[in-house]
Amino acid sequence: MNMTEKIQVESQTAKDFVRLMTNNHLSRSPKNSAEHLNINEENVKNGLAQLVLTLIKLLHELLEKQAIRRIDSESLTDEQIERLGLTLMKQSEEIERLRLAFNIEENDLNLNLGPLGKLL
């Protein structure tokens, strides 16, 4: 079977679906799978680090926006504003330190969400 050939899978139950998906004509041999699957431990590690740092950076930016809203609404004391600013600054420095430690570019933390645009 070539890769451009379309396969239509129809099943009435989950059991039928599993049977169809594990059928020999639909599954690849281990040899072929190994040829197409290139797992590099370093790439997996950096990919996970990139995902985690992207989520942390997103949360950090949301916290910054919330802090600005609270400052603008004058619901914080000067001491709270100072502590909040220092905390956000330290958090930003730690995100940058981790980004450099994993050799991740700044643009790599801004995921493209397709029609929704960039994440950050």
pLDDT truncated to tens, each residue of the chain (120 aa)?
555 555 555 556 666 666 666 664 444 555 544 445 555 666 666 788 888 999 999 999 999 999 999 999 999 999 999 999 999 999 999 999 999 999 999 888 887 777 777 777
Which residue is it, tokens 């679906």?
17
Q: What CA–CA distance (Å, rounded) separates 13 from 19?
A: 10
Q: What CA–CA distance (Å, rounded) separates 41 from 36?
A: 16
pTM above 0.85, yes or no: no
Whether 43 and 108 have beta carbons less than 8 Å apart is answered as no
Give the domain ranges of the chain: 41-116
Whether 20 and 26 have beta carbons less than 8 Å apart is answered as yes
Whether 9 and 17 have beta carbons less than 8 Å apart is answered as yes
**Which residues 6+ apart lie within 8 Å of 87 measured at CB?**
none
